[in-house]
Every structure is written in C-alpha cells, then in structure tokens.
Amino acid sequence: MTGKDSRIGIKAGVNLSTVKYKGNGADIINDNTKQNVGYNFTVFGDFGVGNNFFIQPGVSLQNKGTKIEGSATNGSTTTTGKIKTDVMVIEVPVNAVLRIPTGNSGAFQVSAGPYIGFNVDGKTKTTTTVTNPSGTTTTSSTDNLSFGNKSDDNATSTDFGANFGLGYRLNNGFILGANYGLGLSNLIPKDNRSNGSDAKHRVLGFSIGYSF
C-alpha cells in the first residue's frame, strides 16, 4: 500500500472485556472479576499518508462489560452471586497503522491510536444461588443501565482511551487481527466518586474482516 492508496473495510469478532476498579473494596472486586464475552463490529477506512503507513479512522459497535462472581458460606448455607454487565458502546477510533510486507502473501499491520466511545445501552443481570440442606434456590433479576454523571446513574455516558492492534492482511483483502482497548476515563458518575474510586474498561478483541 503506497501513500496514495485508500481502502474501506469491515471487520467483526469477539470481545473479552473487564472493568478495572480502584478505591475502597476494589481489590476484592478485582479478585472476583471474570471476563465478559461480547462482540465487535467495525467499518473503517485506510488512507495512505506515506510508504506503508496510513491513517485508519472508523466507526465501531463494541459490546463491553464485566462479570463479578463470588460466594460465601455461613454454617451449612452457601450463597453464590453473579453480576453480569453488558454495555453497548459506539466508538470512533482513529489509528495510525504501519504495514510490514511479507512478500507476495500479505503484510503484518501494527496499529495504535485514540478512541472516543458513547455508552448508548446496557443491562445488568444479577443471579443469586443459595444452597443448604433443604436444596438449592436461584433467583435472578435484570436492570437497564442509565448513563450520565448524576448519583442515580450507573456509568458515564462517554468513554475514551487508546487502542493497540496487531494484524495480518492477505493480498486478497482478508484481515485477521487482535486489539487491546485501554480505557483511560473514569466510568463512575462524578456524583458517585469518593475516596479515589475509579473504573476503567479493559478489552481484548479478536476479529476477521475484509478491505477493498
């Protein structure tokens, strides 16, 4: 790809996401945090600005979130709780991409750049299981998330961070890639922040795509 070339493309795949917490009780939460499985879908453009170097803006739908699981035993009763949070995010990434040709087969692609995200929808599902000599009882509930900076909001409405990617593009246009999204903004609404409380997205994504 030369400095005069341009392409458009699409890619989709799987996200493994968590939220990293800081503040009071964060160590306990982080120890019980599991990866949440979601998806990603992106439309992007490649605009050459130099030999094997180009800028890649895009619009992306990202399914992020986290899972927290824990259990406690009191006598003969064990209570297990699971909280699964899914957040739908519209992201606008702008990556700088370096292409490393590997002969006639294709080229490695190394990328990095900022993104801004808009949290548009989300749900939290809470499941509680109680086991004792009488048997096992499971209850669950699902709540919609609200976004903003007020005390009754669940998360901020915007998010920003940085993407770091590694991929391989075949000369026929197919792309295989992996991306790490490092959230840099605090997701906790401003009215709910205290004692240095902080929460940031961490997302490992894998995708397959095509550009032409």
Which domains can be identified in the chain, with CATH numbers? 6-66+86-119+148-211 (2.40.160.20)
Residue 58 binned pLDDT confidence (cut-offs 50, 70, 90): very high
Rounded to an integer, the average pLDDT of 25-54 is: 94
Percent of the chain with pLDDT over 90: 92
Q: 91: buried, middle or exposed (CB in 10 Å: 19+, 13-18, 0-12)?
A: buried
Average pLDDT, the chain: 95
Residue 4 binned pLDDT confidence (cut-offs 50, 70, 90): low
Statement: residue 3 has pLDDT above 50 = no
Rounded to an integer, the average pLDDT of 134-143 is: 96
pLDDT tens digits, one per residue of 60-85: 999 999 999 999 999 999 999 999 99
Alpha carbon distances (Å) from 103 to 28, 116, 209: 50, 35, 21
pTM across the whole model: 0.91
